[in-house]
């Protein structure tokens, strides 16, 4: 939000903004505080319950981002922080839906874990700095329960795949931002750490515009 990729905060006032894969709706809460009219959408009822518990004075919608329950041209802007797109086999379907519900000139800004991280173990220390898998291997990462049912699936797209997906959906790619690890952040969690963050990007943010 600090990067102002959706525009300066004062320009968000009274804008209709859709957040997909919202989880506990952190982005929507920030948008509402700027005077925007956010709608937070997630496929998980449980995630939206967290948003409700924290307190959300805006609509929460439980739906699949691949079949958005909104009329064409309903929103000025859309965003996603690591939501929905990494978890669907065909992200172009989701991107086309976003394009459909945006008004002409509208922006969709989304972040994903930077695709280069696919090639490295998800470890915060030095062991997370050696390539252990092919960047080009698109086989999804799957976790299963005892009955062999998939309970978590993440799909890998290379940077080039993501650019082509955005263009195939009819968007213009305006920017691809790779934020650097901030000097003030000394925390470690999961595969995130100052050590890795200073050497390889952790996040890729795509700024897309609807013609
Ligand atoms: C990594 S979490 C990110 C949540 C939140 N944006 C954040 O930054 O904390 C990914 C979210 O995407 C949601 N999601 C996954 N597939 C989805 C889909 N097809 N449609 C909508 N949401 C989806 C998940 O339920 C989950 O809440």
Instruction: State how far the Cα of 3 lies from the Cα of 167, in Å rounded to an integer.
Output: 23
The answer to whether the pTM exceeds 0.95 is yes
Ligand 1 midpoint to CA 41 (Å): 9
Q: Which whole number is the average pLDDT over 3-20?
A: 96
* Contact indicator for 57, 32 with CB cutoff of 8 Å: yes
CB neighbours of 137 closer than 8 A, spacing ≥ 6? 118, 156
Per-residue pLDDT of 97-149, as tens digits, reads: 999 999 999 999 999 999 999 999 999 999 999 999 999 999 999 999 999 99
Mutational test site, ligand 1, from 62, 84, 141, max ligand atoms within 8 Å of CB? 84
C-alpha atoms less than 13 angstroms from C-alpha of 152 in its C-beta half-sphere = 2
Q: Which whole number is the average pLDDT over 198-209?
A: 98
Mutational test site, ligand 1, from 83, 155, 191, max ligand atoms within 8 Å of CB? 83
Instruction: State how far the Cα of 66 lies from the Cα of 139, in Å rounded to an integer.
Output: 21
Residue of minimum CA distance from atom 24 in ligand 1: 21
Is the confidence at residue 167, as pLDDT, over 80? yes
Q: Which whole number is the average pLDDT over 65-82?
A: 98
Spacing of C-alpha 147 from chain mean position: 30
Q: What is the model's pLDDT at position 175?
A: 98
Is the confidence at residue 56, as pLDDT, over 90? no
Q: Which residues line ligand 1 (CB under 6 A)?
A: 20-23, 26, 42-44, 47, 64-66, 81-84, 87-88
Q: What is the model's pLDDT at position 2?
A: 72
Residue of minimum CA distance from atom 27 in ligand 1: 23
Calculate the alpha carbon distances from 8 to 22, 34, 64, 180 in Å: 21, 10, 29, 21
Q: What is the model's pLDDT at position 3?
A: 83
Q: What is the model's pLDDT at position 199?
A: 97
Q: Which two tokens stand for residue 82?
A: 């690591």
Ligand 1 atom closest to the CA of 19, numbered from 1: 6
Is the confidence at residue 62, as pLDDT, over 80? yes
Q: What is the model's pLDDT at position 182?
A: 95
Per-residue pLDDT of 145-165, as tens digits, reads: 999 999 999 999 999 999 999
Ligand 1 midpoint to CA 166 (Å): 19
Ligand 1 atom closest to the CA of 88, numbered from 1: 19
Percent of the chain scoring above 70 in pLDDT:
100
Instruction: State how far the Cα of 71 lies from the Cα of 130, in Å rounded to an integer.
Output: 47
Weakest-pLDDT range from 1-10, 13-22, 98-107, 178-187: 1-10
Q: What is the model's pLDDT at position 211?
A: 86
Ligand 1 midpoint to CA 24 (Å): 9
What average pLDDT does the chain have? Answer: 97
Percent of the chain scoring above 90 in pLDDT:
98
């Amino acid at each position: 939000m600090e990067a102002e990729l959706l525009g300066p905060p004062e320009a968000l006032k009274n804008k209709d903004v859709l957040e997909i894969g919202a989880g506990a709706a952190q982005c929507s809460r920030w948008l509402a505080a700027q005077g925007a009219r956010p709608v937070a959408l997630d496929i998980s009822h449980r995630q939206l319950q967290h948003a409700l518990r924290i307190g959300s004075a805006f609509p929460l919608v439980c739906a699949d981002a691949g079949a958005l329950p909104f009329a064409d041209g309903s929103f000025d802007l859309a965003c996603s922080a690591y939501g929905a797109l990494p978890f669907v086999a065909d992200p172009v379907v989701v991107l086309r839906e976003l394009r459909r519900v945006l008004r002409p000139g509208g922006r969709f800004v989304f972040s994903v874990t930077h695709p280069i991280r696919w090639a490295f173990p998800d470890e915060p220390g030095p062991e997370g700095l050696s390539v252990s898998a092919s960047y080009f291997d698109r086989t999804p990462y799957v976790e299963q329960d005892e009955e062999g049912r998939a309970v978590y699936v993440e799909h890998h797209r290379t940077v080039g795949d993501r650019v082509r997906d955005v263009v195939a959906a009819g968007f213009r790619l305006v920017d691809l931002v790779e934020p650097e690890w901030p000097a003030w952040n000394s925390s470690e969690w999961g595969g995130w750490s100052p050590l890795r963050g200073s050497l390889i990007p952790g996040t890729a943010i795509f700024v897309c515009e609807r013609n």
